[in-house]
Amino acid sequence: MSYLIVSEVTISLSELLSVLLYLAGIVAIVLLAVLFYRLAATFKKAKDLLDEMALPLTQTVNQLPDIIKKTDQTLADVNTITESAAKNIPGIIDKVADVTTSVGTTVETVADITNNVIGTVNNIFSKGKKAASGINLQGITSKFSKILGIIGFLRRIKRKHNKSRKKSKKKT
């Protein structure tokens, strides 16, 4: 034989909502507790970090006035050097330009003399015999032509410098 038991359980809607609200409240309280625990741990780490960095930060802040004084002295020295350079460099550039002009004239003279000597030597040896010596006359002339090219370059720089000086004098 089998027995059939039928029972009815009646829960009102207000009781169901009350139970759900109690469960939601318990979950919210647990989440808030976890949140506050993590916040407390974060604040503890921040406090420990600040405590650890307090001494080096204090030392650094105490050194700032000395660093500022040294920086001011250095800037004053740089200012003095810059003013001195502004006064002296144009004269130095003029003297260098004069020296390069003199060297250029000397090298041109030496090159002309060398070309004349080489031409004479070539004429002497080319009249019937080939040159037996190991002198590379073309190599020597190429070296002098390179030197003349450098001198020409230096003269162009001097011309540009003189033009810029004339422009700056016109402005003042």
Domains of the chain, residue spans: 14-127+135-171
**Higher pLDDT pick, 18 / 131:** 18
118-141: average pLDDT: 65
Task: Give 128's DSSP letter.
Answer: T
Q: According to the model, what pLDDT value does residue 155 have?
A: 83
Is residue 161 within 8 A of residue 92, CB to CB? The reply is no
Q: According to the model, what pLDDT value does residue 17 have?
A: 94
Buried b (16+ CB within 10 A) or exposed e, 121-131: eeeeeeeeeee
Asked if residue 36 has pLDDT above 70, the reply is yes
Average confidence score pLDDT of the chain: 83
Q: According to the model, what pLDDT value does residue 135 have?
A: 61
118-142: average pLDDT: 66
Q: What angle do CA 164, 168, 172 make, to 5 degrees?
A: 170
Distance CA 159, CA 166 (A): 11
At 88-105, the pLDDT tens digits run 888 888 788 788 888 878
Q: According to the model, what pLDDT value does residue 94 have?
A: 79
Q: According to the model, what pLDDT value does residue 97 have?
A: 79
**Higher pLDDT pick, 139 / 35:** 35
Structure tokens belonging to residue 56: 């080096």
Band (pLDDT 50/70/90 cuts) for residue 63 is very high
- If you write DSSP's letter for every residue of 66-104 in order, what string do you get? HHHHHHHHHHHHHHHHHHHHHHHHHHHHHHHHHHHHHHH
